[in-house]
């Protein structure tokens, strides 16, 4: 037993020494470890204020719009076709030129039509001479019939001859008018004001009145029209607003932000498309800068109503939760979640019908770190939020080298 005790005694001494020394080494912090107090604070929720942007609830007049996508159409489009057949002698317009009603666009060979006019005019002159002679004969027969030198039948026959010649003269005059009109058709003029497109025929070709392509297409683009569709559920509101006066319409750019032109609603279609459940509307725009072009797609915004004196906040302030929409109200440097009722919401503003009073401040940006009762620091919307404070440095800061190509180290 004495021998076993001698063997075990050194082991027991070593174990006891290790038990005494180990806590000392375990309690010693590593060179780069933060203090123990910092670790506790790191596990504890931060009390630093959360930087946010905020805005006050205000009284405003909010417009109510109906958005749609439309197609730009010319106010009037005409395919200029020749009304007579013949050789095209000249085109007196440039492609893409603005023309006025009555401007000469083309000339067709008038030779055969001028000859037809000369023929009918000569026929009329011949019939006029015959009529003059027949009238003189009628006067003689009437005088002779009074003395019974000729029969009354001869006088009546001559009277009928005069009437026939007078009718023939009227027919000749109608033929002359028709020939003049046909001759005038050899000069092709613009039927409307507008802009010419690309011509479909060149000079020297034989053109025909039956040609479906015509010579050129003229489109009136000042003013111009936009046809767009809206859901049929919006039709009662539009009709009610339209009955009170003209409704303004804006044509927007591709980003749906900038209005490229402003016009008015002119037509509400008289039926609803049963396949799409939409109704077509037509608006007219002055288009002074030619921002709208026929055939293009354009975003359209129709103003149907303006809500006067309502409580409004920026749209970004309204959040959605399991119980519905809510806002974070800022009071005494802390936020409180409050339920609200949204009456209308668009890209910029939200109209609140209840839940918020005028002048109360709501958070608009910086919701990721917010919770009920959290401290906040409201910053100016025009300035970026301040960066978080740097942790304190440990140890002395080395001197920066001032030599060429040297960088500052920390």
Write out 136-201 in H/E/C secondary structure: HHHHHHHHHHHCCCCCHHHHHHHHHHHHHHHHHHHHHHHHHHHHHHHHHCCEEECCCCEEECCCCC
What is the token pair recorded at 242? 């339209």
What is the token pair recorded at 239? 């009709």
Q: How confident is the model at residue 147, as a pLDDT?
A: 80
Q: Do domains 51-60+309-379 and 66-74+221-307 have the same CATH topology?
A: no
Which H or E element spans position 4?
Answer: helix 2-27
Domain boundaries, the chain: 51-60+309-379, 66-74+221-307, 82-207
> Which region among 19-33, 94-108, 110-124, 272-286 has the lowest average model confidence (pLDDT)?
19-33
Closest CA to 139 of 155, 150, 163: 155
The DSSP output letter for 407 is -
Class of domain 82-207: mainly beta
The CATH T-level fold of domain 51-60+309-379 is 2.40.420
Q: How confident is the model at residue 168, as a pLDDT?
A: 92
CATH H-level superfamily of 66-74+221-307? Efflux pump adaptor protein, beta barrel domain (2.40.30.170)
- The region, left, alpha or beta by phi > 0 then psi within -120 to 50, assigned to residue 291 is alpha
What is the token pair recorded at 284? 């007219």
Question: HSE (CB half, 13 Å, CA atoms) of 20?
Answer: 6
> Which region among 23-27, 352-356, 358-362 has the lowest average model confidence (pLDDT)?
23-27
pLDDT digits (tens, 9 = 90+) for 164-204: 999 999 999 999 999 999 999 999 999 999 999 999 999 99
Q: How confident is the model at residue 280, as a pLDDT?
A: 96
């Amino acid at each position: 037993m004495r021998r076993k005790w001698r063997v075990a005694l050194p082991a027991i001494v070593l174990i006891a020494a290790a038990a005494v020394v180990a806590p000392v080494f375990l309690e010693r912090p590593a060179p780069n470890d933060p203090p123990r107090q910092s670790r506790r604070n790191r596990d504890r929720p931060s009390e630093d204020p959360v930087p946010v942007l905020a805005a006050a609830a205000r009284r405003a007049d909010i417009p109510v719009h109906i958005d749609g996508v439309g197609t730009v159409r010319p106010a009037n489009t005409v395919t200029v076709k020749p009304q007579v057949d013949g050789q095209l002698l000249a085109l007196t317009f440039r492609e893409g030129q603005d023309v006025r009603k009555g401007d000469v666009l083309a000339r067709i060979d008038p030779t055969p039509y001028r000859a037809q006019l000369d023929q009918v005019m000569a026929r009329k002159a011949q019939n006029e001479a015959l009529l003059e002679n027949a009238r003189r004969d009628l006067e003689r027969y009437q005088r002779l019939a009074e003395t019974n030198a000729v029969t009354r039948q001869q006088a009546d026959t001559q009277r009928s001859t005069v009437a026939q010649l007078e009718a023939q003269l009227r027919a000749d005059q109608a033929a002359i008018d028709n020939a003049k009109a046909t001759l005038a058709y050899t000069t092709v003029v613009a039927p409307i004001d507008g802009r010419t497109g690309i011509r479909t025929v060149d000079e020297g070709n034989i053109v025909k009145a039956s040609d479906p392509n015509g010579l050129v297409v003229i489109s009136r683009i000042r003013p111009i029209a936009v046809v767009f569709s809206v859901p049929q559920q919006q039709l009662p509101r539009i009709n009610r607003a339209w009955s009170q006066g003209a409704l303004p319409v804006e044509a927007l750019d591709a980003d749906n932000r900038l209005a490229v032109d402003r016009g008015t609603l002119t037509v509400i279609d008289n039926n609803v498309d049963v396949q799409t459940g939409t109704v077509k509307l037509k608006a007219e725009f002055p288009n002074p800068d030619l921002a709208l072009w026929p055939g293009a797609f354009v975003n359209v915004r129709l103003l149907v109503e303006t809500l006067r004196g309502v409580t409004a906040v920026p749209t970004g302030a309204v959040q959605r939760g399991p119980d519905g929409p809510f806002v974070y109200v800022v009071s005494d440097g802390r936020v409180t979640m409050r339920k609200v009722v949204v009456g209308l919401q668009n890209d910029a503003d939200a109209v609140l019908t209840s839940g918020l009073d005028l002048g109360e401040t709501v958070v608009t940006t910086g919701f990721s770190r917010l919770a009920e009762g959290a401290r906040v620091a409201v910053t100016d919307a025009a300035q970026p939020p301040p960066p978080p404070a740097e942790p304190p440095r440990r140890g002395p800061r080395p001197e920066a080298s001032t030599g060429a190509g040297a960088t500052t180290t920390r």
